[in-house]
Chain A
């Protein structure tokens, strides 16, 4: 059974710092991996989607990497801003088309 773990559960960093959020999964037979952002009480906004054949995707200050063999993905945020404060969720789609979410990392950027 696929399990998705995100560490740490919460993170506070000063504005301007570069930071890395981690996601690990137990079954490497995945179709894709997606990173989302969720603001309190709001829906999920897709940030980056990495296909199983890809190693990374970039969008603006965000870069996501995927290492299937080790069951890991990282989300790198450059030059963090207070507006980046949110919960970041990782989700993997298995070959059985089932999508499993991690419980998220709650990020707080200190002004």
Chain B
């Protein structure tokens, strides 16, 4: 089983719909992150969480919200999806034990039509 699991792997949704992307990890890491990747723009940080009670905005948090349900689970929601949120979304984890090196999930490809 993967250390960092993202579901779904692919999703097509309509403009205006609410959608949730889920991430779970078995690494026991404290820190979890959500990124989106767009061609030509690289990886951009949406939200991050250093522990269950800690949630922080990244550089592009508008239009997104997150929930850290447990140490192992961090979900990303798009309250009202719009086409420019079409992207590849990645969850990542890190921890002091690994000197904050990142472990990434396999990604969710989201298409908003």
Residues of A within 8 A of B (CB): 31-32, 34, 36, 41-46, 49, 51, 89, 91, 93, 97-99, 101-104
Contacts and interface: CB of A to CB of B under 8 A. Distances in A.
Interface stretch (B62-70, B73-81, B104-112): B104-112
Interface in B39-97: 40-43, 45, 50, 88, 90, 92
B44 to A, nearest CB: 8
Contact of A46 (B33, B102, B106): B102
Nearest to A45: B104
Nearest to A101: B43
The listed residue with most A CB atoms (<10 A of its CB), out of B100, B103, B107, is B100
Nearest to A31: B100
A67 to B, nearest CB: 19
Nearest to B44: A101
A23 B64 CA distance: 31
Nearest to B92: A44
Given A32-B99, A93-B100, A104-B42, 15 more contacts: A31-B100, A32-B100, A41-B107, A43-B90, A43-B104, A43-B106, A44-B90, A44-B104, A45-B104, A46-B101, A46-B102, A49-B101, A91-B43, A98-B45, A99-B33
19 contacts: A32-B100, A34-B101, A34-B102, A36-B104, A41-B88, A42-B106, A42-B107, A43-B90, A43-B106, A43-B107, A44-B102, A44-B104, A49-B101, A89-B42, A89-B43, A97-B50, A98-B45, A101-B43, A102-B42
